[in-house]
A and B are shown apart, each in its own frame.
Chain A
């Protein structure tokens, strides 16, 4: 059973388009982190969301944590080829716990 489902799995878009990646679960998470991973490298932390309904912005990236803390979304505005990569959500089930549960990932390809 996959605890964190990401959708879509793959996304190929043209430069300048907008996109949204979803991370869904039936379980509650105390926090959720979004990472981006490029080939041959480890996941790089983009953002951590903690409070239900929280919205964080990182330049053209907007992250939202669901009100019930069971889901999250990543929206990219005007995608650039440099946004290409594997996007991963990862959640912690309880407070003061270190074990991250990862989603399956969304592979994004942005064409110029």
Chain B
């Protein structure tokens, strides 16, 4: 079974440009999450989809970030326009559901975004 995949693995863009990151969750996983690690900081939650609906987007930093999940399958995270502080590694994770209220999340390899 394929794990969580992310594309691209690395993106270098200039300030003001637009970048779109893609995540394909594990097949059959309704829950999809985006997280981000900026340099020197811990990994932080951005948002959570259940199928195509946004369940929790409390971690989205501002309105330059737009996440979508078409048809409840793959998800995209668009940053427009990108700023220097958006540089970091963006992780996607997915989970099948909960056991005793616990959601075990499986992470993709991440997309390293560098804004220059």
Contact = CB atoms under 8 A, between A and B. Distances in A.
Interface of A: 2, 4, 30-31, 33, 35, 40-45, 48, 50, 88, 90, 92, 95-96, 98-105
Interface stretch (B14-22, B38-46, B63-71, B80-88): B38-46
B55 A98 contact: yes
A61 B103 CA distance: 22
Closest 7 CB pairs of A and B: A42-B107, A95-B101, A102-B43, A102-B42, A96-B101, A99-B45, A31-B102
A35 B71 CA distance: 30
Contacts of B91: 42-43
B109 A50 contact: no
B104 A48 contact: yes
A100 B42 contact: no
A30 B56 contact: no
Interface in B36-58: 41-45, 48, 55-56, 58
Nearest to A33: B104
A102 B102 CA distance: 16
B59 A50 contact: no
26 contacts: A30-B101, A30-B102, A31-B101, A31-B102, A35-B107, A41-B110, A42-B108, A42-B109, A42-B110, A45-B105, A48-B102, A88-B43, A98-B31, A98-B56, A98-B95, A98-B105, A99-B56, A99-B58, A100-B33, A100-B35, A100-B45, A100-B105, A102-B43, A102-B44, A104-B41, A105-B42
Interface of B: 4, 9, 31, 33, 35, 41-45, 48, 55-56, 58-59, 91, 93, 95, 98, 100-110
Contact of A44 (B56, B58, B107): B107
Contacts of B35: 100, 102
B102 A92 contact: yes
A100 B56 CA distance: 12
B103 A98 contact: yes
